[in-house]
Amino acid sequence: MAENTEVTLDDLLGELAQPEEVDKIELVAIIGAGVMGQGIAQTISSSGIDVLMIEKTIENVDLAKEHLIRNMEYEISRWAMTKSELKSIMSRIQWSLDITEVREADFIIEAVEESFEQKKQIFSVLDRVATPDTILVSNTSTLSLTKIAESTKRPEKIIGMHFLNPVPKVSLVEVVKALETSDDTVARTKAFAKKIGKKPIEVYEYPGFVTTRVIVPYLNEAMYVLLEGIASAEDIEVAMKLGYNLQTGPLELADNIGLDELLHWMQELWNALGEPRYRPCPILRQKVRDKKLGKKCGEGFFKYDEDGNKITVED
């Protein structure tokens, strides 16, 4: 008599309902409390996970706390967050100047500036301090994870998580696999991304990955349009937002990223790929020389108030 292999609807629904296996993650350490580090910390804390923020000086810690609270207070004023949520998020974020405290972390995310030497030094220290099973993550947008991994003895546990700014509002994260990153590390990192409310896309290491490589020529070309006097900055914004149904125009988006950060991306891509579309527009270099770095300092291609809102001509 043939074996009954009938699959019922209940069986099928039961299989579909099985949750994806996720590591028990209680503490995530973040190295660097700049704009990206703050956004990553807020996102992780919002999901109920404790965060340990590591910075170099107490002055940096105080500035980061102030900036993070101010951003969330602005969200409260817009009815996008409550005061109790702010208190809950901040209560789960601890601050320290001692990098050795990351030894208790289940995940460690490096979010310092795009300096290969600095990242390499940090990963060398983390490799010695962290437990052998801990995954070491970099938020780099352009640098080689494979080369960064060479400073450690655990290349199979080195991976990239490229978050986009503002981290709490952008649902995407690029999970970047280096040459020796293991499949287990990729799976655990993607599960962690989902746990904190992000949609992970898996990409292989290549200069610029997906988002940076695609967005840079778009922003660069908008700057050339401005430089050549074809249209004003405001009209370029209106053209791209209304013409292509975009929420943010290219020049304000550049200001959001940070013009110094964007210039660094372009230089890295220009050096790595040698293609003219990545060669930084002279107007971008001028803005950075003049310290007009975008929204974070109140002026870039546009001017912004203390809450980061663009000041229009009418204002």
Whether 305 shows a pLDDT value over 50: the answer reads yes
Q: Output the CA torsion sign for 216, 253, 263, 223.
A: positive
Whether 119 shows a pLDDT value over 90: the answer reads yes
Whether 113 shows a pLDDT value over 70: the answer reads yes
Same domain, residue pair 103 and 200? yes
pTM of the predicted structure, to 2 decimals: 0.84
Same domain, residue pair 184 and 43? yes
Shortest CA distance to 184 belongs to which of 21, 3, 16? Answer: 21
Q: What is the dihedral of CA 176, 181, 184, 190, to 10 degrees?
A: -10
Instruction: Convert the pLDDT of each residue in 33-56 to its tens digit.
Output: 999 999 999 999 999 999 999 999
CB environment 134-157: b (16+ within 10 A), e (fewer): bbbbbbbbbbbbeebbbbbebbeb
Is residue 12 a part of any domain in this protein?
A: no
Is residue 140 a part of any domain in this protein?
A: yes
pLDDT of residue 213: 93
pLDDT of residue 19: 40
Is residue 119 a part of any domain in this protein?
A: yes
Confidence of residue 1 (pLDDT cuts 50, 70, 90): very low
What CATH number does residue 293 fall under?
1.10.1040.10
Q: Output the CA torsion sign for 30, 269, 258, 174.
A: negative
The Cα 216–Cα 195 span in angstroms is 29
Whether 2 shows a pLDDT value over 50: the answer reads no
Same domain, residue pair 237 and 188? no
Whether 12 shows a pLDDT value over 80: the answer reads no
pLDDT of residue 81: 93
Instruction: Convert the pLDDT of each residue in 121-146 to its tens digit.
Output: 999 999 999 999 999 999 998 889 99
Residue span of the structural domain in which 53 resides: 27-204
* Direct distance between the N- and C-terminal alpha carbons of the chain, in angstroms, rounded to an integer: 83
Whether 13 shows a pLDDT value over 60: the answer reads no
Average pLDDT over residues 230-257: 96
Q: Which of 175, 204, 233 is the last residue of a domain?
A: 204
pLDDT of residue 100: 95
What CATH number does residue 109 fall under?
3.40.50.720
Average pLDDT over residues 13-19: 44
Same domain, residue pair 97 and 189? yes
Identify which has the larger pLDDT, 19 or 284. 284
Is residue 20 a part of any domain in this protein?
A: no
pLDDT of residue 298: 92
Q: What is the count of structural domains for the chain?
A: 2
Same domain, residue pair 107 and 244? no
